[in-house]
């Protein structure tokens, strides 16, 4: 199944000294690299400049295992909020059903 995860830093992160924020950010980047190595093409990470969050879209048979893999065991996890959503693919059959719904009175 496809899974969308959005990670956003908590306000408490910005109260930390700059050196500690840099240390936690480096750990988070290392975690992303490790997840990419572990899951390969089954996960993609996205970040928009100035958006202040990281998004991943991955494919895994078990949501709990995927979330544990994405969050890792880094100390920075406690300074982030994570939102996870299951994604449904809109294939041709789903699009026809959506069109039928829109066309109905």
Distance CA 15, CA 34 (A): 27
Looking at residue 20, what is its pLDDT? 94
Distance CA 73, CA 47 (A): 21
Query: What range defines the domain where residue 71 resides?
Result: 2-103
Q: Write down the pTM of the prediction.
A: 0.77
Instruction: Read off the pLDDT of residues 24-79 as tens digits, 9 standing for 90 and up.
Output: 989 888 888 888 898 898 999 998 888 888 899 999 998 888 888 888 777 778 89
Instruction: Residue 59: give its domain's CATH number.
Output: 3.30.70.1060
Q: What is the domain count for the chain?
A: 1
Residue 80 near residue 10, CB atoms below 8 Å? yes
């Amino acid at each position: 199944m496809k899974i969308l995860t959005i990670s956003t830093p908590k306000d408490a992160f910005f109260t930390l000294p700059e050196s500690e924020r840099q240390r936690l950010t480096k750990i988070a980047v290392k975690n992303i690299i490790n997840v990419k190595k572990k899951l390969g093409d089954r996960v993609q990470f996205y970040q928009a400049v100035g958006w202040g969050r990281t998004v991943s879209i991955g494919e895994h048979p078990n949501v709990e295992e995927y979330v544990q893999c994405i969050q890792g065991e880094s100390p920075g996890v406690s300074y982030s909020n994570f939102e996870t959503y299951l994604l449904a693919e809109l294939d041709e059959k789903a699009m026809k059903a959506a069109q039928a719904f829109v066309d109905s009175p």
